[in-house]
Amino acid sequence: MKPLTTTSYAILGLLAIKPWTTYELAKQMELSLRNFWPRAERKLYEEPRKLVAHQLATVQRETVGKRPRSVYRITADGRQALRAWLDEPGAPASLEFEALIKVFFAEHGNKQQLLANLERIHTEATARAMIDAQWAQHYLATGGQFPQRMAVISLVGTLQAQLNQAILAWSGWARQLVDTWPEDLRTAPPARDSLELIARWTRHTTSETLNRQTGPVS
């Protein structure tokens, strides 16, 4: 029997809200979890079956006219498994950001290319901020599809918006700074002020011993 993955538990979490068809589950995953757990739609279709095999859900085969569909429902075991899963620490966060690689290797191109990449990041973050704003307005106005979930959703939505704001603020700052740099980026002055700020962030923390690990970039 196929072992359950994080994606399985994400689906199980949705089933804990209400019963859904596989198609609806796939749509809902895309809608609400894409931003912190992106998965290929194709693979989501295999998850509910695994849940049934583990007796965490049941299927109900229906037909709409001639077309069949499967409605999945969480079981008591399923709710129990979900609660147990919430106790386990999750894997550390992981980010993929191709445009940042282009910033990282910008000295092998010219200043205009770096500015263009920063501009693209800024534009995307701006668009994203608009979407976040509309989302927040929608939730404030309607309370959302599942009002009992609004509290936790407001937490998660806040982090997403804050992360996007961080990218927006950074790209605006970086753009302005790079504007003052020479054409040959190898001779540009490093952002010392920013590094000094980062270097001071140890102060607000405990004197716990640190294992030697690497910082953001080496």
Partner DNA sequence: CCTCCTATACTGCCCTGGGCACTATCGGAC
Partner DNA sequence: GTCCGATAGTGCCCAGGGCAGTATAGGAGG
User: Which parts of 40-99 interact with DNA (CB under 7 A)?
Assistant: 40, 42-43, 45, 64-70
Q: Cβ closer to DNA: 70 or 165? A: 70
Assess 115 for contact with a copy of itself (CB under 8 A): no
State the sign of the Cα–Cα–Cα–Cα dihedral 31, 36, 40, 46.
negative
Give the residue, chosen from 27, 79, 149, 175, that forms a contact with DNA under the rule CB under 7 A: 27
* Min dist. Cβ of residue 145 to a copy of itself (A): 7
Query: Distance between CA atoms of 191 and 207, rounded to whole angstroms?
Result: 27
The C-alpha atoms of residue 6 and residue 143 are separated, in whole angstroms, by 28
Q: Considering only residues 12, 14, 15, 39, which one is a binding residue for DNA as defined by CB under 7 A?
A: 39
CA 6, CA 36: separation in Å to the nearest integer? Answer: 12
What is the C-alpha separation between 181 and 213, in angstroms, rounded? 31
Question: Of 16-24, 129-137, 191-199, 209-217, which part binds DNA (CB under 7 A)?
Answer: 16-24
Provide φ and ψ at 101, rounded to 5°: -60, -40
Shorter beta-carbon distance to DNA: residue 21 or 165: 21
Which tokens is 149 given? Answer: 């979930």
Residues that bind DNA (CB under 7 A): 2, 5, 7, 21-24, 27, 38-40, 42-43, 45, 64-70
